[in-house]
Structure 1
Amino acid sequence: MTPTQLRKLDRELSEFLDSMTEGMGRTERRRALGGYLTGLLLDGERKSIEPMAARLVEAPEQTEAMRQRLQQCVSGAAWDDSEMRRRLARQLECEPPGLEALVIDDTGLPKKGVHSVGVARQYSGTLGRTENCQVAVSLHVAGEKGSGCIAMQLYLPEEWTRSRKRCKAAGVASGVKFQKKWQIALSQLDDALAWGVRRHLVLADAGYGDAREFRDGVRERGLHYLMGVQGTHKVWPPGAKPRQPQRALGQNGRPRTSSGAVTHVTG
């Protein structure tokens, strides 16, 4: 990138951050958040606070002070998560052209240890296998010319919610209860609609489409959907009255059933 392009990018990032955090605490805290986001965007594989702090300062002796500012910003300061997500959703809803879908998905984050919140051996579509990882449910607005994430919530497996000792050690609030992924997704849709996001078509893979409760919940919210389902589902056209085939007298084996498994459901 040219110096002019870098200056423009820096100005646009600052304007975006100001729009997301206006009125949320002191200027110093908001400036520290800007430093944290810059650290995430800079080159370097390690994105933990200490190596990012080293990349944000001009001299090594300034690293510790920067580390403390970043630590306070992300660990000690109380940010209004719901309000920031509302602002982001409203901005994304208005800016990218041609938005036409609300996309439900989940993302696997591989982990080595057992102490990170929500980590467990579980299936990750991102990794394509069962692995030791965290999984986060996300909601995106999308169209042919762009997309953006407006909600992301960590999925907490039931083995975690059954162990209050483990949750307390990881800093999970005592009131947090187990939720299936499709329940988290419905809550995210409720938030988006409350924020003024338009009623776009809902897209999801079979991990959500297989849950009839989720499909019904989407329709109850006045939304149409296109979702993947497993090929074992049976589908009949409206008005059909399927009946169990009768077993012929003396015939062995299982009775034949109607076929017609589909891979997508529309509502």
Structure 2
Amino acid sequence: MDAKELRRRKPELESFLDRYAPRFGRPEAQGHARRFVQGLLLGGDRRSVENIAEAIDGCVVRSLQTFITNAPWDANAVLADLRRQVGQEWDDPDAVLTADETGFPKKGTLSVGVKKPYSGTLGRTDNCQIGVFLGYHAAKGHTLIDRRLFLPEEWAADRPRREKAGVPEGSSSGPSRSWRWRWWPTRWRPSCRSSG
């Protein structure tokens, strides 16, 4: 989406975001959440907080970084609200759930779960994080309804490293290709079928 399209669709976007704004607490944090989403929609090759802030008029990099890093909002509650909305508005017996594993390249070693696995996204073994995303695909549209960051065994076994990175207690994952299918039936049960 380019800036012109974003301006044209801003009322629609604001209406959508109004449903989730209370999850972000104070009005200042709600504003940061809105600007962050706008920046993500503008796309670009790199989606760092700095690039997102630079793409949005009036957005300050440090303020947005503080929001992303330290703001006390519950991402799981936001996703639960989204799943509820999808269930109410898009419930479709022919809908399909898809789980997609994606690699995010990383330069350092401090990002949660970073290691050097093979990444199909990158097409090679490289330093990255691996995430699995659950998508809901129906006649009315498609959206992501859940996500999970794969935590390699080295991370799961290293409590000081997890604590330093802010990984919640009890976070663990099995091998990414096996746990993704066990994960969705208990977390999301709309009237739809698995894609495989």
TM-score under structure 1 length normalisation: 0.62
Root-mean-square deviation (Å): 3.0
Listed as ranges, the matches of 1:60-139 within 5 Å are 66-93=60-87, 94-95=89-90, 99-139=94-134
Instruction: Compute the displacement of 1:144 (Å).
Output: 6.1
- Greater mean alpha carbon deviation, residues 174-183 or residues 161-170: 174-183
> Counterpart in 2 of 1:16?
16
Alignment-mate amino acid for residue 186 of structure 2: D
Cα shift readout 1:105-147 (whole Å, capped 9, x = no counterpart):
2111122332221111212232334332211112111146642
Query: Is 1:123–1:130's contact at 8 Å kept on the other side of the alignment?
Result: yes
Listed as ranges, the matches of 1:176-187 within 5 Å are 176-181=171-176, 182-187=178-183
User: What is the percent sequence identity of the aligned residues?
Assistant: 35
Mind listing any 5+ residue stretches in structure 1 that lack a counterpart? 204-226, 228-267
Distance 1:4 1:134 in 2: 33
Any idea what SS the aligned residue of 1:17 has? helix
Alignment-mate amino acid for residue 28 of structure 2: E
> Counterpart in 1 of 2:163?
168
Q: Does 1:191 align with 2:183?
A: no
Query: Is 2:115–2:127's contact at 8 Å kept on the other side of the alignment?
Result: yes
- Greater mean alpha carbon deviation, residues 45-54 or residues 134-143: 45-54
Query: Is 2:94–2:193's contact at 8 Å kept on the other side of the alignment?
Result: no
Instruction: Compute the displacement of 1:24 (Å).
Output: 4.1
4+ long deviations beyond 6 Å: 1-4
CA pair 34-92 structure 1, distance change in 2 beyond 3 A: same
Distance 2:3 2:55 in 1: 19
Query: Is 2:117–2:125's contact at 8 Å kept on the other side of the alignment?
Result: yes
Mind listing any 5+ residue stretches in structure 2 that lack a counterpart? none
> Counterpart in 1 of 2:194?
202
Greater share of residues in helix: 2
TM-score under structure 2 length normalisation: 0.81
